Structure 1
Amino acid sequence: MVALAGITFASQAVGSDYHNDHTMPGTESQQVADMFQGRESVDTIQVVAEGDLAKFPAVLDKLRGLPHVATVGEPQAGDGIAFATVALDAKGVPVEDVRRVIDTAQSTDLRVELGGELVRGAEETAGGGAEGAGMLAALVILVLMFGSLLAAGLPLITAVFAVGTTVGIIILASHLVDLPDYAPPVMILVGLGVGVDYALLIFARYRSELLAGRDRDTAATRALDTAGRSVLFAGATVIIALLGLLALGLGSLQGLALAVTLTVLLTLVASLTLLPALLSLLGKRIEKAVRRRAHKPHGDRWRAWAAGIQRRPWPALVLAVAALAALSLPALGMRLGFADAGTEASSSTSRQAYDLLAKGFGPGFNGPLVVVARGEQQPGLPQVLADTPGVAKVLPPQQTPNGTVVMLYPTSAPQDEATHDLVTRLRTDVLPTLSGSTFLVGGATAAADDYAEAVSDRLPLFVLVVVGLSALLLMVVFRSILIPLKAAVLNLLSIGAAMGVVTLVFGDGLFGVQSGPVEAFVPVLIFAIVFGLSMDYEVFLLSRMHEEWRRTGDAAHAVREGMAGTGGVITAAAAIMIVVFGAFLFSPDRMLQQFGLGLAVAVLLDAVVIRCLIVPAVMRLFGSAAWWLPRPLVRRLPRVALEHA
């Protein structure tokens, strides 16, 4: 608690210094961006008007003299639409001053909307509350599970401590390393889910030991020596997956990976240190609450469910795998990119400004492309570009020290598939026909394409390394060949199904959601986190099965008792994660919405389809072979026990 107070005080005194770094060194779009680096040292806001445009200058006059407003540009008129650019006097202007500009620009004489990254950020900051809603829902689930507000509060206290400490550390660290401004909500999202999950698994084992007749000290010791080991292993798997993101070399994603890794690490520390301390302080009162519910049946329904699956394993297995495979299919058509104001809520001023600019100046006005020619003069370049299908307008070329620069506007919006096709056409078909120069294509759509291509190129190796290391750890722990193979395949299936749902909702516009690309780094993050979380449930369930297998030697009995001992806890833990992650669907940030949906769906499928249907069916079909390991490996692999009988 002293650490939390000290870090919080220091972070509030220093403040944050977040920086979004989506650079991709070596790509065409990045080379173009580097040429113009430093030319725009301040942030800008676009003020867009529709209606009686003669009154627009009066609106702009109101903005002059506001805090941080440096200059207000002259209005530019289109088809019934006009806009002006407001330049601020610095980067990182406080949100309050941005909102003051938004409020001051409003007029009763004509329609005025404002756009730009600062405006989008101010609107997103004005939303929120997802964390609180998720925590409240988690508390309700825990109270229903344990029947005591005190017992339900322990996992939440542990999670809040870990998350609060991590946020303070990350605020301080933002002055030393590049961390994106979306790091805190992602950290809170993961930290709350993982923190409650880990603490719940340990506390649930503590409760079961009390119900078995053991005293408080013995129950706490056995809970840490069993569930604590499982949590430690599962957390290590998440950390390995997250650290693997560093090898991708994807700008801000590296800083985000470090931030989330630190979050998981501190939740582990809190679950293994703070939670036992709380159990020691409050153990007597908790024991009374636990023993009041001792008469209730424990695990009978899960035992019966497992027995039913064991009687007919093939139908359950085929049906579940087919469902996951069907949900995974849309992910094959996933289009990666970066969201812009065109994917914001239709009620937001940034989205309405975007739509007005598209109405007055054409859809491509919101995402111009830049072509740079290095080498010989290319007097015919503007005409070649103008004759290219998909190009609406080409501006006069400009001669710069870096070469000839030509800006063009597509006929389609930045997020449109046609704009992506235009970038590809320019790079592969149009510009290579011109000799004597080297050509580069940049702009927002080109940068998104380059980033998505980099993710796609590096993802297979990342997946292979994470899956391979996790499978190796499972092999060492459970002394088995089949179990790690099963875990790897099932985890990939659940992640694929989750990404399929994300594609359906955000890519195809299911349920009326604005369609557009999936944020380029969301699939990578979801894979890293979900793979680790899936291992969490895998280890917790299989540890109990392994414990019974070593005690009885009966594979079928081990499956039933493993389900009986962990089914309720895994379901409760999954329900908490689902409500915490799902609460971020109400965030105004589209990236957080995608992230929350992907994690919530993955956990739901893992807990319901995989743990309740596939695992008992597969373990029944494996029989005793599930715990088989070739003799050469038996001698060479170290022995690491998670569960002690």
Structure 2
Amino acid sequence: MDTPFRQATRAEKALSKLGEFCWDRPWPVLGSWLLITIAAASIISVYSGFLVSGAGSIAGSQSAKIDAELTETFGVRDSQALILTYSDPALNLNEDARYDFLDGIEEELLELEKVDAVIHANDLIEQPRDDKGGALIITLNAEDALGAEQQVPIIRDAIGVMLQDRDQMEWAVSGRGAISYDLAVFSNDDSANSELRALPLALLVLLYAFGALLSASLPVILAVVARTAAFAVIVVFAGLFEVSTVAQAVVTMLAIALGIDYSLFIYHRYRQLLNDASACEPDQVDMQRRGALVEAMGQSGIVVLYSGVAVAIGMASLVITPMMEMRSIGFGGLAAVVMSVAVALTMLPALLSLIGAKALDWPNRVKDGRGYAATSQAWCLWGGRIVRNPGIAITGSLLIILLMATPAIYTQSGFPDDEFFPNDLEAVRGVQMLDEMGIKGLSSPVFVIVSRDDGGKVISPENVMKLREFREAIEADPRIAEVSAPRLSTRTALMPFPMSAMQRLVSEDEDKILFRATPQNDTSLFELRQLIREIPSWNTITGMTVETGGQAQFLNDFDDGVTASYVPVVVTVLFATGFALLLMLGAPLASLKALMLNLLSVAAGYGMVVFVFQLGYGAEFFGVAGATELIPSSVPVVIFAVLFGLSMDYEIFLVSRMKDIYLSCGDNDRSIIEALGDTGSVISSAALIMALVFGAFAFSQIVIVQMIGLGLAAAILVDALIIRAILGPALMKVAGQWNWWPLLPSSVEAADSVKLTLPDARGPDDKGLPIN
């Protein structure tokens, strides 16, 4: 192969100088990273409890407004309520013993500092299955939902002491705050388990690739450092504002995948260039090693930098959304990519300066025919076939991608019911007990506030009949079991009933009233969310406003917020990523092609998520009982934002190599073939490692994490093995020299240009990356 020349950019020169700096000062650089890692581990151990679960409140949404109204006007703290469910053979069939027990435990609960009130389930819903157990609603006096969540372990510990003598009693504390707390704890353990699955798999691939333990271990070490530092960053963020626990899984996935990926790009190029050291005099080897690192930093370091920018753009697009859960994913992703880029560009050069070439190969297990020359030749042969048959390559690859993407058209957005939560959670066990008692609806009440627009009394002679009709319409709906409502009459009450309870359903100024509807036991979350949208349309009273609240309303607001973010997220990512590509490649057509191909990989990955989880084909393989029938609305936008930047690093790595070769020789076909030969092995092996990392999270016990993990793993494999290896090169062939317009080959052949060495054929002793 001929040697191409081109002028090094300012960014490449800066990265080469950074490599020189870290190479010449390895101990200060490594010492700094050691201190950072120790400090990060300390921060995580002390402050990781700051992370919260769930999606948080949505500023400006109806659910947030109604939650505030319920607390301030009616004294209802639904988001701060816990439910104690219990079942004891000695109490279930003995009414007197049961009431004695309830009176005693109510007294003890009211003595706790944050407990505001205790309500028997029998007071809210008729005919519970007492033979299956009972339930108490514990209302907390906390500052907000997060404050209630932090009370969950305190309440549980106190109840455990109260019930320590009742060996036959089964009990659990559930509710919105309890689910959040349990998911926070579970997510921490689950992410750690997924990490333990991912790292050994990645190490095995690297061992096969390099055939040497030390070489294989370097990317893994860097990934662990990046993950630790990134997790500490989001923990610090959590001390300033709400950050969801889902950020932990995202940090772990991305930091490990990117830490290995970015290190691999630089290390792979360094090993290629280092092969020349074997022909040098012994006293020149160290200089050759240094030169190889500096050149690798300039050539592959720029790919890492631009790829990091592309991933960061996708993550930043999530930060602008109004949902706390989405912002948390964005913050976690930003922290992961920044730390992954940082360790690859600083820690790796410092480590390589201390490790000799021979040490990198210990113990040497690379066999003849598995080195760079063999794999490069194989990829060149493959590139030749693509160039000779572009039509077949384009048609075949598009058919595969479209087949994988097709299930996406059947998407049904929503939140899977709690049957898809991990059964290990105490809160889930509590909901299952409520289900057995026939009062599962207590865990997700619907609140309906009727207010008068002119500030007058809602319950007035002219409105009473229509208010009764409105209440009857709610009660008659098959999705509703019971409705608690104020006394809808203007006459003086002569019969005794609990006035205090009724008065809490009417505001002090009587300009608002509250209906509390308890769903039927078999009403699904999806049905409840439909009901919430329908209820306001049942109002026939002029001058009255009907607003709904509760968990179902929050989920509707969340869906609406996520859906509204689709356009700004997609536009932001496409525009910013396209601009970054144009800056790097200087070729509009090649940049546009890269954007379009990335969209195809996103579609293929998301299509597989719908196929497996929503439609249920193979869901059991991932430990899910069956089809979820719904996909959370956040999944497609998260997959898009994360994946768009991730897959861009392969595009940058491949196309930038094509550009260098084309600018040297002016031959488009040759640039395609030689670039595939030069990058095919590292792209395929890096993609395999990244897919294994994401695939490990597909076996998580949290369904939304499983969906994201599977979507990313499938898309990365499609991107590397079909799009970058077949479809992309075939399209480059069809476009011909228009790929590089307005660049001209002759414009870069100057005397002061910088040599960029294409790999020559190596002998069987080379130590390049052998996977193809």
After TM superposition, the score normalised by the length of structure 1 is: 0.88
CA distance in 2, matches of 1:394, 1:590: 33
Residue correspondence of structure 1 range 45-444 to structure 2 within 5 A: 45-49=83-87, 53-54=92-93, 57=98, 74=120, 76=122, 78-79=128-129, 80-81=131-132, 82-85=134-137, 91-93=148-150, 109=168, 112=171, 114-116=173-175, 117-118=177-178, 120-121=182-183, 122-125=185-188, 127=190, 128-213=192-277, 215-286=288-359, 288-289=361-362, 293=366, 296=371, 297-338=374-415, 341-345=418-422, 349-361=426-438, 364-375=441-452, 376-377=458-459, 379-380=467-468, 381-388=470-477, 390-397=479-486, 398-401=505-508, 403-411=512-520, 415-427=524-536, 429-431=537-539, 433-444=540-551
Verify the 8 A CA contact 1:310 1:620 in the aligned structure 2: yes
Secondary structure (helix, strand or coil) at the match of 2:384 reads helix
Aligned amino acid, residue 361 of structure 1: G
The Cα of 1:361 is off from its aligned counterpart by 2.9
SS at match of 2:451: strand
Aligned positions, number: 635
2:647 pairs with 1:534: yes
Q: Which one of 706, 720, 723 corresponds to residue 593 of structure 1?
A: 706
The residue number in structure 2 matching 1:497 is 604
User: Tell me, what secondary structure is at the counterpart of 1:129?
Assistant: helix
User: Which amino acid in 2 is paired with 1:403?
Assistant: K
Which range moves more in the overlay, 234-243 or 457-466?
A: 457-466
Note the C-alpha offset of 1:129.
1.0
Distance 2:137 2:439 in 1: 18
How well do the aligned residues superpose, as a CA RMSD in angstroms?
3.4
User: Following the alignment from structure 1 to structure 2, what is the Cα–Cα distance between the partners of residues 496 and 471?
Assistant: 18
The 1:408–1:232 alpha-carbon spacing in structure 2 relative to 1, beyond 3 Å, is same
Query: Residue 586 of structure 1: SS of its match in structure 2?
Result: coil
Query: Cα gap change, 1:382/1:609 in structure 2, threshold over 3 Å: closer, same or farther?
Result: same
Return the letter of the residue paired with 1:141.
V
Aligned-pair distance for 1:184? Answer: 2.0
Match for residue 670 of structure 2 among 557, 562, 585: 557
Letter in 2 for 1:33: D
Which residue of structure 1 lines up, in the alignment, with residue 65 of structure 2?
Answer: 31
Is 1:6 paired with 2:52?
no
Alignment correspondent of 1:624: 737
Cα deviations by residue, 1:378-406 (Å, 9 ceiling, x for unpaired): 53231132244644432224213572111
Q: 2: distance between equivalents of 1:484 and 1:59?
A: 71
Cα 1:298–1:439, aligned 2, differ >3 Å: closer, same or farther? same
Cα distance in 2 between the residues matched to 1:33 and 1:584: 34
Change (3 A) 1:51 1:626: farther
CA gap 1:577/1:62 in 2 versus in 1, 3 angstroms: farther
- Secondary structure, counterpart of 2:320 in structure 1: helix
CA shift for structure 1 position 175: 1.3
- Identify the residue that residue 9 of structure 2 maps to in structure 1: none
User: 1:299 and 1:2 mapped to 2: Cα distance?
Assistant: 40
> What is the one-letter code of the residue matched to 1:6?
A
**Whole-angstrom CA distance in 1 between matches of 2:367 and 2:294:** 20
Cα distance, 1:221 vs. partner? Answer: 1.0
| Contact in 1 for aligned 2:156/2:173 (Cα 8 Å) | no
> Equivalents in 2 of 1:248, 1:420: separation in Å?
22
CA distance in 2, matches of 1:243, 1:266: 15
Q: Is the 8 A contact 2:506 2:514 kept in 1?
A: yes
Q: Does 1:17 align with 2:53?
A: no
How far residue 549 of structure 1 moved from its aligned partner, in angstroms, is 1.4
Name the stretch that deviates more: 463-472 or 84-93: 84-93
Instruction: Name the amino acid aligned to 1:393.
Output: E
Query: Which residue of structure 2 aligns with residue 548 of structure 1?
Result: 661
Structure-2 change in CA distance of 1:33 and 1:592 (3 Å):
same
Contact 1:69 1:88 (8 Å CA) reproduced:
yes
Q: Which TM-score applies when normalising by structure 2?
A: 0.74
Question: Which range moves more in the overlay, 252-261 or 592-601?
Answer: 252-261
Return the match for 1:469 from 547, 552, 576. 576
The change in CA–CA distance for 1:78 and 1:131 in structure 2 (over 3 A counts) is same
1:419 and 1:518, CA in 2 relative to 1: closer, same or farther beyond 3 A?
same
Whether the aligned pair in 1 keeps the contact of 2:449 and 2:547 (CA below 8 Å) is yes
Q: Residues of 2 paired with 1:69 and 1:480: CA distance? A: 63
Change (3 A) 1:34 1:500: farther
Shift of 1:600: 1.3
Report the AA paired with residue 188 of structure 1: T
Query: Which has the higher relative contact order, 1 or 2, with Cα contacts under 8 A spaced 6 or more apart?
Result: 2
Question: What is the distance in 2 between the residues matched to 1:318 and 1:276?
Answer: 43
The Cα offsets for residues 452-499 of structure 1, whole Å up to 9 and x where unpaired, read as: 112112211220121122122222322222222221112112112222
The separation in 1 between residues aligned to 2:755 and 2:47, in whole angstroms, is 42
Mean CA deviation greater in 409-418 or 149-158? 409-418
1:610 matches 2:744: no
Q: Could you say if the C-alpha distance between residues 17 and 113 of structure 1 is closer, same or farther in structure 2, counting changes exceeding 3 Å? A: closer
1:581·1:596 contact (CA, 8 Å) conserved in 2? yes
Query: d(CA) in 2 for partners of 1:125 and 1:5?
Result: 19
Name the structure 2 match of 1:637. none
The C-alpha deviation readout for 1:242-271, integer Å capped at 9, x for no partner, is: 112232222342244223212211111110
The residue type equivalent to 1:424 in the other structure is R
Judged with a 3 Å threshold, the aligned counterparts in structure 2 of structure 1 residues 97 and 310 are, in CA distance, closer, same or farther, namely farther
Distance 1:347 1:5 in 2: 32
- Per the TM alignment, residue 368 of structure 1 is displaced from its structure 2 partner at its CA by 2.3
Note if contact 1:43-1:118 (Cα within 8 Å) is conserved in structure 2: no
Comparing 433-442 with 517-526, which one deviates more in the overlay? Answer: 517-526
Cα distance, 1:11 vs structure 2: 4.9
1:224-248, Cα deviation, whole Å (9 max, x unpaired): 1111000100101111221122322
Structure 1 residue runs of 5 or longer lacking an equivalent are: 635-640
Distance 2:48 2:690 in 1: 30
Q: Which has the larger displacement, 164-173 or 462-471?
A: 164-173
Inter-partner Cα distance in structure 2 for 1:335 and 1:590: 16
- Structure 1 or 2, whichever has the larger Rg, is 2
Q: Structure 2: state its 5+ residue gaps.
A: 1-33, 142-146, 279-287, 453-457, 487-504, 748-753, 759-772
* Identical aligned residues as a percent: 26
Task: Give the deviation of 1:612 after TM superposition.
Answer: 2.1
Displacement of 1:68:
8.9
- Does the Cα contact within 8 Å between 1:155 and 1:196 map onto a contact in 2? yes
Assess if the C-alpha contact under 8 Å between 1:225 and 1:644 holds in 2.
Answer: no
